[in-house]
Structure 1
Amino acid sequence: MSKSDNFLKDIISHFNIEGDVIGISKFGSGHINDTYRVDLENSATSFLLQRINHHVFPKIDVLMNNIRLVTEHLRQLFLSLGKDPQKHTLTIVPCKDGKLYHEDEEHNYWRIFYLIENVKSYDIVETPQQAFSAGQAFGQFQKQLSTLDAQQIEPVLPNFHNIDFRLSNLKKAIQEDKKGRVKEVEDLIQFIEQRENKMRTILDMGEKGLLPIRITHNDTKFNNVLLDENDNVQCVIDLDTVMPGYVAYDFGDAIRTIINPAAEDEKDLSKITLNLPLFQAYAEGYLSEAKDFLTKEEIESLFYGVLLLPYMQAVRFLTDYIDGDTYYKIHYINHNLVRTRTQIKLVDELEKHEVELKNILNNFAPISIS
């Protein structure tokens, strides 16, 4: 084995795994954590070794305890249904000392999960069946966790979907105007300011006690759903961002990533359009599961989540552009500005189709959305 493999083999030795390691290889396309597939001699079971990015997730104990609580809850549910939990939820492999992660000498943090085999994942939703399965997966995920006390789960990224926090950061950036860029984005600032009250709808409903705090995924990209060979739901993965929140955040973030066929940094705004069949399929899949536990007000909040998440992403991109591109990686000078305009065009398209989108939701919701 190479020096790198020997280093990783030493890391693996701290975990409760029996058998000789015969293979370690890079795995997946994640941007946050480093992930490796681990194969053992004479074993049909493989594992995923991950280095946790502690710069993104500094509270390692909180992070891993959240995942433990969620996966143990899901494990019991799948057992009660006669299903193999290791095929339907992540399973943590503890260290030999009982901890859920290992800290190496360089203060990097490592964890191991069982590898779920014979599954597929896609980066982009291409068919209504896939969109339906994605909606079903996250609706089921929320429904299953609705019976776990959300107060047990701690925020790993405070204010992650708090629009007041994001707007406050934008206003601070505008006031400081470090790079003298405010004058060239006044039209974008005006667009955002005109919608501030509307985009507070979910927060307002929550502050009035109309929306319960649920356990939500907070990163509902399609590639965080594992499907079986028939593109049916098998497992929701990437649980690092599981936190207390409102269900509309998950719904809106999923729609943001599937409804627009163009790239997040598409320069030609005429390509920013809405794929309504995919919206319909996702909404149908999601509500087929979630309608069993959602309140009337939560269902009404879903459309506002659809508007809020691209709006919030526009706020974040614009903030970073005004600040001098310090947070998001850019590939050219105006990259964050292009991203901002793309998200704002998406918000504009969603607003123009508000009636149509609400009618689609009404087709599958147990109540009528006004």
Structure 2
Amino acid sequence: MNKLNEIFYQFLPEFKVNKIAKYGSGHINDTYMVTIDDSETTFIMQRVNHQIFPNVPELMNNIFGVTNHLKTKFEEMEGKDPNVNSLTFINTLDGEKYHQDEEGNYWRVMETITPARSYDKVETEQQAFQAGVGIGEFQALLSDFDGSSLYEIIPNFHNMETRLATFREIVKKDVVGRVRLAQEQIQFVENRAEEMQTLVRLGKEGKLPIRVTHNDTKINNVLLDENDEVLCVIDLDTVMPGFVLYDFGDAIRTSTNTGDEDDANLDNVEMDIKLFTAYTKGFLSKTASSLTPIEIEYLPLSARIMTFIIGLRFITDYLDGDNYFKTHHEHHNLQRAKAQFKLVSSMERQFEEMQRVVQEEVTVNC
């Protein structure tokens, strides 16, 4: 019996494994598809990267807490299936949420959701709308879950004050001599730094409630069915306490860009207002009644802030010698920052229209 089979049998010894094969294109965890002897039953098995997520026990506590809450809600909803509309993780024979092997690696097993598909890039307004429905429903169903009870998996992940302080320190040190190559981007950051700290300030003032946040709301983390209707929100490793505006803003950043995240041709990069409208319609169809007036007011700005912060992280890493993000050429992080800042500029030009869309959809759904 090989090692992977042995690990799987720590969870489900009653099944006979036919095959275990690498699955998906994720860069953080090692993911495998486990096929059972009847060839129809499958499971997903993952080695959780404890270099990226050092506290796997708390990470799994977060996931089980959130998925159990979602399942309870889905059981009460007509037309919903808790095992299709929420991820189902399997306990080990000892009742644990994960298995730790002799080398110290952490493993987990979950049921597969079929038939389902995901997209790496939004192609239609229907897909944008359904992605908004998916994340909106996720937020709405967890609105009565105490977000502050979750463990903060990555401290200060979206803390603009911390990110700006790090950026300024790295600019000051200029350890790899790249500051001269990024003057335009450095000025872009400083020109907007004050406004981009708005969410941090509102949080400190107690004006934004702490909620359960997903923190990776790109389109491929919303599974759709064959009709491109939402099935399930996946990839819950970064579920932790935060502001709902983080999830909405990052979803708009990743779902409405007409170009690529690292597009070398900045003419390709714009925010598609039609995709913004579709996503916002879907999101607010589920959340308009559970969000506070201040959360609703700052939805448009959150898109600019979340796009700005990833651009800030790219330019910070570039000036520090490319230590965090994987790069494919010497100035890749600079190219990424330029593309994200172009997207910010596009949002700025369309900001009044974004605000109008939000207010219109709130009126429709309240």
The TM-score, its normalising length taken from structure 2, stands at 0.96
Structure 1 residue 50 and structure 2 residue 42: aligned?
Answer: no
Residue 366 of structure 1: which of 342, 363, 366 is its match? Answer: 363
Secondary structure of 1:36's aligned partner: strand
Query: Structure 1 vs Structure 2: percent identity of aligned residues?
Result: 47
Match of 2:200 in 1: 203
Deviation of the 1:256 alpha carbon: 0.5
CA gap of 1:184–1:80, structure 2 versus 1, over 3 A, is: same
Of 257, 260, 279, 1:282 maps to 279
Could you say which residue in structure 2 is the equivalent of 1:144?
Answer: 141
Alignment partner for residue 76 of structure 1, among 72, 77, 80?
72
Q: Is the 8 A contact 1:21 1:39 kept in 2?
A: yes
Map Cα deviations across residues 158-200 of structure 1 (whole Å, 9 max, x no partner): 1111111111110111121101111221221111111111111
Change (3 A) 1:17 1:67: farther
Give me the whole-angstrom Cα distance separating, in 2, the residues matched to 1:18 and 1:147: 37
Shift of 1:237: 0.4
Q: Is the 8 A contact 2:253 2:303 kept in 1?
A: yes
Q: Which residue number in structure 2 is paired with residue 313 of structure 1? A: 310
Counterpart of 1:28 in structure 2 is 24
Contact 1:26/1:36, CA 8 A, preserved across alignment: yes
Give SS of 1:195's match: helix
Q: In the alignment, which residue of structure 1 is the partner of 2:82?
A: 85
* 3-state SS, counterpart of residue 102 of structure 2: coil
Judge conservation of contact 1:35–1:48 (CA < 8 Å) in 2: yes
Say yes or no: does 1:63 pair with 2:59. Answer: yes
Which residue type is aligned with residue 216 of structure 1? T
- Mapping 1:1-370, distance limit 5 Å: 6-42=2-38, 44-82=40-78, 83-366=80-363
Q: Distance in 1 between matches of 2:352 and 2:282?
A: 20
Q: Which amino acid aligns with 1:331?
A: H
* Cα separation, 2, equivalents of 1:120 and 1:270: 30
Q: CA deviation at 1:155?
A: 0.7
Contact persistence 2:122–2:256 (CA under 8 A):
no
Provide the aligned length of Structure 1 versus Structure 2. 364
- How big is the shift at 1:366? 3.4
The question of whether the paired residues in 2 share the 8 Å contact of 1:45 and 1:114 is answered with no
Does the aligned pair in 2 maintain the 1:310–1:347 contact within 8 Å?
Answer: yes
Could you tell me whether the CA contact under 8 Å between 2:18 and 2:39 is conserved in 1? Answer: no
Classify the secondary structure of the residue corresponding to 1:39. strand
**For 1:244-273, what per-residue CA distance to the aligned partner results, in whole angstroms no more than 9, with x for missing partners?**
111111111011111112111111111112
Contact 2:257–2:272 (Cα < 8 Å) also in 1? yes
| Structure 1 counterpart of 2:254, one-letter code | T
SS at match of 1:366: helix
When structure 1 is superposed on structure 2, of 130-139 and 203-212 the one drifting more is: 203-212
Letter in structure 2 aligned against 1:304: L
Q: Deviations over 1:13-51 (max 9, x none)?
A: 111341210121222222211111112224753210001
**CA–CA separation in structure 2 for the residues paired with 1:14 and 1:189:** 51
CA distance in 1, matches of 2:250, 2:271: 15
Distance in 1, matches of 2:123 and 2:350, equals 21
CA distance in 1, matches of 2:321, 2:50: 24
1:269-316 CA distances to partner (integer Å, 9 max, x unpaired)?
Answer: 111122111111000000000102001000011112111011101110
For residue 201 of structure 2, give the secondary structure of its aligned residue in structure 1: helix
Structure 2 gaps of 5+ residues are: none
- The structure 1 segments of at least 4 consecutive aligned residues displaced by more than 3 Å after TM superposition are 42-45
* Structure 1 Cα separation of the partners of residues 70 and 350 of structure 2: 37
Deviations 1:222-244 (A, max 9, x none): 00011112111110000001111
Contact 1:202–1:304 at 8 Å: present in 2 too?
no
Q: One-letter code of the match for 1:349?
A: S
- Distance, in Å, in 2 between the alignment partners of 1:84 and 1:287 is 23
Counterpart residue identity of residue 28, structure 2: I
SS of residue matched to 1:87? helix
Unaligned runs of 5+ in 1: none
Letter in 1 for 2:51: H
TM-score of the superposed pair, with normalisation by structure 1? 0.95
- Quick one: which amino acid aligns to residue 42 of structure 2? S
SS for the counterpart of 2:298 is helix
